[in-house]
Amino acid sequence: MDGASSYDVVVVGAGPAGSSAAYSAARGGAKVAFLEREGSVAATVRTSGVTWMDAIREFGITGDCYHPIRNYAFFSPNNEVTVRDAEPRAAVLNVRKTYRLLAGRAQDAGAELFTGTNVTGAMTGGTAIAGVHAVAKDGMKDFVAKVVVDASGFQSVVARGVPGIKRWGMFGVGAEWEAEAENVDEDTWWLLVGSEYSPAGYAWVFPLGGNTVRIGVGIAKPASTQDPAEKLQQLIEHRPGPLSRLGKISPTEFHYGLIPNEGVSRKSVHDGMIMAGDSAGQANPLVLEGIRYAIRYGLAAGSTAARAAQSGDATEPAMRHYEESWRKEIASKIRTALRVQERWLGLDDAGWDAELDIMREFSADEFLDFVKADFGLGYIARMAVSHPRTAVNQLGRLVRDSLRRR
């Protein structure tokens, strides 16, 4: 054992949630360590990196970190629709650059980054979390903390030792190649649905500028037992449907990851600990996107942790406002998105062909609100006025009923 170091706030993980938590905790005046098991931040990429231009502006992501997207194509076995927009409102991130930008900001704010530091579990004082045990480059190391922020993503390495927190039973698994392709429409992302592309989920092609794309397959568990890497290999080899339009595909870097898909089932605050990002289940299940939530609630978790550490009260009641506030913002949206996802998982190929006819009627605004799961009563009202008697109302009804059940 290489002795223990003491901090106000120890953040586990230097993904978007962890680096954001470390930044805001350090800005809040706390002595902060953030611990990353990999040898460098984002050494391994486990995400496709699609996000939204409003989030990019909100978090000050610099222009060299993303490629803008303004058209959204959907393909089913026998149907195809492209929603076109006048300006880019989505973007594909250079994930490594973005995550390193966030980690660098945390370090500039005074947080100490420990890479190559694998957290193995929590130190406890009574029922409270009091720090973490880790295996570092130079041996075992303990980090004592007034507050631990668990931002270790799907693994939830600290939280999984807390009574009442169960392993994720429902989750998504994705496999992706970053690749060079011969013919790429740089402005348009593709989502491909139906059994040929994914048995329970979807495949995607996300352009990164020039001839570079990310081609991937996501599969919901336990809905299907198939490994997405296997399905992806088939797609790259046989290039069914629109994939043939890409011409020759030359893979360059493989990505593989897991994301919780269970909605907001976990309590995210305990004595001495806060969870943020995937460890708290803060992701939009419709298209399995969580980066913007990880950053937003990472920032909130870090500020809450710093205040709790300084006040000397890091009990659950003292930090509960963090949980109340993120739930108020996104819990009902996530619940509603899960209901739409349930409908989508039940569609066969013919059902998907029909679903695309519904999407054809969406304006770009409606489509983007939908995939972002930005559902609210305003959204329902707008949809009812724009599509008073069409099939779009089936989806509208599903969303409306789900929101009413809150």
Ligand X SMILES: Cc1cc2nc3c(=O)[nH]c(=O)nc-3n(C[C@H](O)[C@H](O)[C@H](O)COP(=O)(O)OP(=O)(O)OC[C@H]3O[C@@H](n4cnc5c(N)ncnc54)[C@H](O)[C@@H]3O)c2cc1C
- Check binding of 118 to ligand X (CB under 6 A): yes
Integer Cα distance of 292 and 58 in angstroms: 9
3-state helix vs strand vs coil in the chain, percent to 5: 40, 30, 30
Whole-number Å distance between alpha carbons of 142 and 7: 11
In this chain, which of 11, 50, 205, 392 binds ligand X, going by CB under 6 A?
Answer: 50
* Interface with ligand X in residues 123-142 (CB under 6 A): none
Using CB under 6 A, pick the residue from 28, 49, 194, 207 that binds ligand X.
49
Query: How far is the C-alpha of 393 from the C-alpha of 399, rounded, in Å?
Result: 9
Bond prior to 222 in cis (omega within 30° of 0): yes
Residue 12, interface with ligand X (CB under 6 A)?
A: yes
Strands 171-181 and 212-221: antiparallel
User: Which two tokens mark 332?
Assistant: 């009902």
Rounded distance between C-alpha atoms, residue 358 and residue 378, angstroms: 20
**Element (H or E) spanning 129, and its range?**
strand 128-136
Q: Which residue has the tokens 């695309």?
A: 356
Nearer to ligand X, 119 or 122 (CB): 119
Whether the CB-CB separation of 18 and 12 falls below 8 Å is answered with yes
> Which range, of 16-24, 182-190, 194-202, 245-253, touches ligand X by CB under 6 A?
16-24
Interface with ligand X includes 302 (CB under 6 A)?
no
Q: Tell me how far, at minimum, the Cβ of 392 lies from ligand X, in Å.
A: 25
Binding residue for ligand X (CB under 6 A) from 76, 94, 152, 332? 152
Q: Which one among 11, 24, 48, 337 touches ligand X, defined by CB under 6 A?
A: 48
Binds ligand X by CB under 6 A, chosen from 77, 207, 272, 277: 277
341 counts as binding ligand X under rule CB under 6 A: no
Q: Which is nearer to ligand X, 153 or 396 (CB)?
A: 153
| Positions 238 through 257 that interact with ligand X (CB under 6 A) | 257
Query: Distances in Å between the alpha carbon of 405 and those of 149, 261, 401?
Result: 32, 20, 6
User: What does the alpha-carbon distance between residue 308 and residue 311 come to, in Å, rounded to a whole number?
Assistant: 5
Binding mask 169-188 for ligand X (x = CB under 6 A): -----x-x------------
Residue 18 makes contact with ligand X by CB under 6 A: yes
> Where do contacts with ligand X occur on this chain (CB under 6 A)?
12-18, 35-38, 46-51, 118-119, 151-153, 155, 157, 174, 176, 218, 257-259, 277-279, 283, 288-291, 294
